[in-house]
Structure 1
Amino acid sequence: MYINLRSLNCLESSTVRYQCSSINQNIGAIKSDCFSLFKVNSGQRIRLFFHGKELRDEFSLLDYGIKINEIIHFCIQKIELPAEKEHYRENNELPNKPYDHSKDMDGSKKPDKSIESSLTPIATDDYYLIGDHVDCLHPEIGAWFEGIVCGLYKLNSSNQTLYEVKFWKSSLPETVKVSINGIRPQSYQQIRLYDLNPGDLILANSNLTNPGQIGYWYDFLVTSVNIKRKIVQGTLFIGDKVTLDKHNITGNLLFYTAQDNQPVIERNNKQAKLIANGSERKRPTAVECTQCSDDPETPCVECSCRQCGSKADPEKQIVCDECNNIFHLCCLPQPLERLPPEDEDWYCYNCKNTDAIDIEMKEEASRLAKGLKRKRKASTKSSSNNVIGVNDGLLTSTVPEKLINNWGRGISCVGRTKVSEVVPKNHFGPIPGIPVGTIWRFRFQASEAGVHTPLVAGIHGKQSVGAFSIVFCCGYDDDIDLGDEIYFTGSGGKDSSTTKCRVGGRQIKDQELTRCNKALAINCAAPFSNEGANSGTNWRLGKPVRVLRSGNARGSTKKSPYLPKIGVRYDGIYKVVKYWPERKVNGLLIWRFLLRRDDTAPSPWTKEGKRKSRKLGLSLIEPPGFIETFAKKSSSKKRKVDHVDQNDLSVKRLKVTPYKLPSKVVDLIQQDNQNSHIWKEIVKLTTEGEKIFLSRVEESFRCACCLEIVFKPVTTFCSHNMCKGCFIHTIESLVTTCPICRAGLLKKNCGPEVNCILEQILAQLFPDYYEKHSSGKS
C-alpha cells in the first residue's frame, strides 16, 4: 500500500508518494525513512499529523485507521537545546545521529508566524474576478471541485496572486486559498467515449475506494481506449505531485474537457457568460449520505440528529459508541449541558443497559399487587429514597446500591463495575496479560478485562474503523463452528418487541451491511464492497479480531464441541477471510462471515492448549461474592440442601506447576545488584506458577512516571526504576527529585546510566510485550 506525505512548511503544498511495507508498519519506521527522503539534518526533527492528531512512534498505521491513498501531513522543525540539557546529553554520551521523534522536547522552536499577515486584499486581477465560477483543486483530496471566487489577495513578498474559493459542495471546507495553478474555468463541455484519443488530457470521474461508482473529478491523461469493453486506461493525477499509472476507469464513463486559464481581456462573450454565471448542470460527485445527498438544507436522520434531523450546531452533537447514531445535546430525553470527556463511553437511551432498574421497579409493583404494602412499608420508603424515578415515561435514576453484586436477582442486575486501562477501547489484537484460554463465568467480566467491551452485542466495532472482537455462541441456526474456522452470522433483523434484549427474538427483516456488520467486513483484506468480498490467499493481511466462545447460551454446547461447557473463553486472534449475503429458507437476507484462526498460541481445546492452560494455572474466574451467595441460596432450600454438590460451591484449585526460571535469567538476576532487594521477594513467588510470578515482576518494575513496564530502565540512586525517556523528560522539565521518594536524581550534574542487566531480564521474561515497546521507542 502507499500513502501521501504532504508538507506543512511551505505555501504551495508539496506531496510525496510513500510506499509502505504493510498496514502494520510503525510510525517510527516511516519517520526514519523520512530523514533520508527529505534530507533532514541532525539538528531537526520530523512530526507527522493525520486528521489534526500527531502520530506517535509506538503505534502503527492500523491503530490510527490510515488507509491507502490517505494524506499524512509532516513538518520539519529545528531543535534548540538549553545549556543544562546539552550538558546532560554530553555526560550520557548520546549518539550524534538524526534526531528521533520519540525524544521530543518542550523547548522546540515555535512555528513561524502565519502567512495570513503577508496578504493584501485586491479588487481585480488579470485572470479572475470576484464572483467568477471556477474549478478549484482541493489541496488535501487532490480532486477538482466547483466553486466561486470570493476573494483576491496579493503576496507582499512577490507579485503572486492567491484566490480565495468557496466550494459548492457543502461537506468541504468553507474557503481555501490557492495559486493560479490550483484554479481554472469550469469544465462544461462533455466528451463521449468514442471521441477520446490517446494523449488527451481530460477531466475524469473516478472512485478510488469503490471502482465503478460516482467519485471525485481528477485530471486524466489517456493512453488507451477500449470502446467495446468500455475501459479507458491512462495516468490519473491526484493533485500536483501524486500520479497513478495504468489506472483503469470503468462504469461511470463521464469525461469533460479540461479548460485552460485565460486572461479576462481575451475571453469571448460565451466564455465570459459561462464564467460569470456558471454551468446550469452541476457535475455529479460522491456523496457521504445517500438519503439527503449531503444537502445542508435538507433534514436527515441518517447523517444528523436522530430526533430532529437538523444539521445545525454540529459542535453540539454527540455520537453513541454502540449504534453510532447522532443526537443533539438538547434533543436527548435527558438533555446534556456539555459533551462528556473524550475518554469516556456514551450510550443513547436505546443502547444503555437499564435492566437493573426495570427489575427493581417490577418487584416493587408485584409486592404492591399482592397486598404487601403495609408489611413492607419501611422497605418501600427506603427504596423510594434511592434515585429510582420516572419522568415523562423515561427513567431518570441510577442503579441502587443494594443491587450491586446482588447475585440472587439474576445476572441482569449486575453491571460493569470497572473499565480496563491496559489498552484503549479501540485496540486491535490481543490484550496484554490475557493469555489464550482465559475463561470467565459471565460476559461482564470479559468486558471489565477489555477483551470484549459490549455487555450484550456480539460484535464490538465501529463501521468507520473495523471490528475489535466478537462473541460466538452458535446462537443463529446458520452458525457453524469448525474450531479453527468459524462461519459467523451478522447481527440485526430480529424482532426486539418481545424481549428487552436487542439481539433476541425471531428474524423479521433482512440484515444490512451497516454498523457492526460493516465493521466486521472492513477487517477483511479485500476492498470493501456492498455485495461481499473474498481476500483469498491474502486473508492474513486483514485486521485481527479477538474471538470469544460462550457456553452460557441455552443449548449452545450441543451445537458445537468447541464451546466451553460454562462461561466465556478467549480463544485467540482470527482473521476475516470473506463475507457474502445469503437468502434463508424463509426468504430473509443474512450476512455471513468466514473467520480463520491466525494465532501463535495453541487452541484451548487441543492437547497442547490444555497443557499450557494447566501450566499457566488458568481456571474458571468467578466474580467476587458469587460462590458465597450461591451457597447461601442453596442452603435456604430445605428440600435440596442434602443434594448440593460441594464441588460447585467453591472454586477447585488446580495443582499449579512451579515456574522454573531459565538459567540465563537466574544469572542476570544475581548480577542485578541495584535491585537485589526486589528480586529477593519476587523469586519466592516462582512456586505459585508463571502467571503470578510474571504479574509480580510487571507490578514491581513499572515506571514511576508513565506507569508502564520500564523501557531502557534507569535505576535511580534511591533504588527506584524509570524509563530512560521519562527520566530525560523529567530532567528537561527542571525536576531533579524522584517522583516516589523525592530523593535527588542527579549527583554532580550527572544522572545514572541505563541498567542494561535489568533490560535483558525483562526482555527475556516479556518477549512479545517488551519488543512491542522497543520497536516504537528505539
Structure 2
Amino acid sequence: MQIVVKIRVISAQNEKSDLIFKIQRNLKIFELQKIIHSKLDVDVSAQKLYYGGKELVADSSIRDYNIHDGDVIWLMRTSENPAKKKKYDDETKKIRELKNCSSAYYKIGDLVDVMYSEFGAWFEAKIIEILVDQNNDNAEENLIFKVVMDRNEETAPITVTFNNVRPRAKYIYSFSELQNEMIVFVNYNIEEPTKRGYWYDFKITNINREKNTLEGNLIMGLSREAVVHDCIVKFVDEVMKIEQPTLITNRKIETNEEIPLRKLPPYCSKCKDVSTRDCKECSCRICGRKTYISILIICDECQCSYHVFCLNPPLENVPLDEEWYCPNCKRDENEIVRAGEKLKTIKRKLNRIKLLKNQFGPVIGIEVGACWKYRNQLPECGIHGSPKNDIHGNHSKGVFSIILNGNDEESQDKGEEFYFTLSNNHRTTTRVIGVQESGVFVNKMIKTLSLNCNNYKMRNNGFGVADVWKHGKPVRVIRNSTVARSKYGPESGYRYDGIYKVVEYFPEISKFDAVVWRFLMRRDDSAAPPWLVIQIDTISFHLDPNIEYFMKKDSENKALWDECSKELENGKATFLETVKRLFTCVCCHEILHMPVTTKCLHNICHDCLINCFASDIHFCPTCRTDLEKSCSLRINDNLQAALKLLFPGNGFNR
C-alpha cells in the first residue's frame, strides 16, 4: 500500500518547501534517507528524521511508526562529521581505556539537563560518574559524563560530553521579566503546538502582553542550526531560565532541596501515566495491571502487551521466538495457502447468530410478516438460531423461538393461539438438550419451554397462569407453509408471525397412547397478524401516538423526522428504512443506541463518542466540527425513546 508523506526541513519557515514523496508503508527509514539525499543532496549520515517527537531509526520501517497518508516527517540537518563521530563512539565504548577524574564545574550526584539527540530536546538526569580517556588530559571538553535519566532510573546509564550537559533548570520567569531576544527554556510540541511537548531552547522575537502570548524561534540540538520559526508558546507560565555551568568553587551554599521534575506529555493518554491506575492501553491488554513487568510480552503486529499468565492458554515463560503474535493477530494456520496448495474455503460462524444467541423478543430490523424461502435463511438473519431443529433456546433460560410446521396432527392452530405439542417424536435443538436418551430428551424440552411460563416451577400435573400469562418470557413464532391443516400459514416458505407467550401447559394421553405435553401459546404482539394484512406495502402507515409524541419533542432532529414522516404514505417498510438511513451511527454503522446530539446537530452513539474522546479525537465524526473536551455528552432521551419504540430490541448486547 502506498502513502504520501511530506518531508519538512526543520529550518524551513513555510510548507511550500516540503518534499512530497509517494512511498510504500514497508519502506525502510534508511531507504527513505537515500531518496531524500537524491533530492536535497544531504548526506544520509547528516540526516535526522523525526515523527511524533521521536527520531526514526534507520533499520525500522514506515509501518513501525504508524505513519499515515499525508503526515509530515521532520528533517534536521547535522553538521557532524560521521567518520569522527564513529571513531568517538568506538572509543567511548572501550570503558577499559577510561579513568575516573573530576570536573571543575560538575561533581557526582549533580542534577543536570542532558541533550537527548533522539528527540533534540533536554531531559532531566543525574551524574553518577565522570571519566576521561587515558590518552587525553583532564580538560573539560575531553570529559565524559555518565548519567542516569531521572524518569527512568532502572534503564542503563548513557554517556555524554561536556557540551551535552548543563545545570538543571529551576528558575521560572514571571511574564513581566521576559524580553525580546532572550533565549529561554520552554515546553513546546512541534507537531501539535496546542498540546504539551518536550523542553527546548527558545529565542523570543515578539511578546504580546495584552494577549499574554509569546512568539519566537525554537532551537533544536546543540548546533543551533535546526530552528523552527514563528512558534507560539502555550505554557507561558512555565518559561524557565537556562542555567549556565558555574565553577564548583564559586557555588553558593548548597541545599538538599530537590528540584521537581518538569511536566512532559504522558506516555499513555488514557491513564495519564498514573502508576496506581489499571490501564489496558499501556499495560496488559487483558488485566490492565502494571505489575510483573518482566513477564510482559509485546505482540509484533499490534504492539499490545500481555502478561504470560493472562493468555488463554497461559504461557509458562516468555517465548524465545524472534516474533510473537497475540491471539487476535495470529493467523489461523489452516488459512495459510502454502506453495502448491489450492485456495481454501474457511467456514466461519455468522456474527449475527453470535450476537443474538440468547435474545428474547423481537429481532431488530425484522418485521412481523417477513418471509423466507428456505429454512437455512432463518439463522442467517437471527430470527431462529437452529438451522435443523424446531426449538431454539437455552435449558437454563428458556426458549427463544419455535417453528410451527404442522407435523403434529393434534396441534390446534387458531392463529391468535395454538397448542404446541412435545412428544418423543418431536425434533429439538441440541442447544436445549445435549442428551440423546429419549426419556431425558423429552423432559429437558418440557422444562426448557416451561421456563417461559410466568411461574418458573414445573409441576408434574402442569401449570396454568391464565390471568397473568402476559408476564411470561416471549417466544418468536415462525410458521411454515407445511401447516396444511391451518389457514394461518404462509403460502410458501417460512413467515415470522410475531411474539407469543405460554398461557398454560399440561400432560395428556394422545390417541397413540403416548404421554404428550401441550403448551397453549397465545399471541402478544402489537403488530397486526400477517394473515389479516393485505398489501401491507401499498397502504399508508399510521404512527403510534407514543412515537409521535417523542418525535415532536425531539426538536433537535425536527428536519430529519419531517423527512421520515413524508414516507408514511408509502407504507411501514419504506418509513422504517428511511428512519434507519437517517439515524444510523457513522461510527458503529448500527441504529443509534443512547444517542448524543452534538452542537452541529449530528447524532452519535454515546459509547462511540466516548471511544472517540478516549482516542484524543475531539471532533464530530460526521462533519469534523471541533468538540471541546468538556462538551456535554447528554443523551437525547426523546430520540432514544422514539427509536426504541420503532425498533424493539435495539441495543441488545451492545
| TM-score class normalised by the smaller sequence | 0.3 to 0.5
| Higher Cα radius of gyration | 2
Q: Indicate the structure whose relative CO is greater, using CA pairs within 8 Å and at least 6 residues apart.
A: 1
Report the structure, 1 or 2, having the larger helix content: 1
TM-score, normalised on structure 1? Answer: 0.39
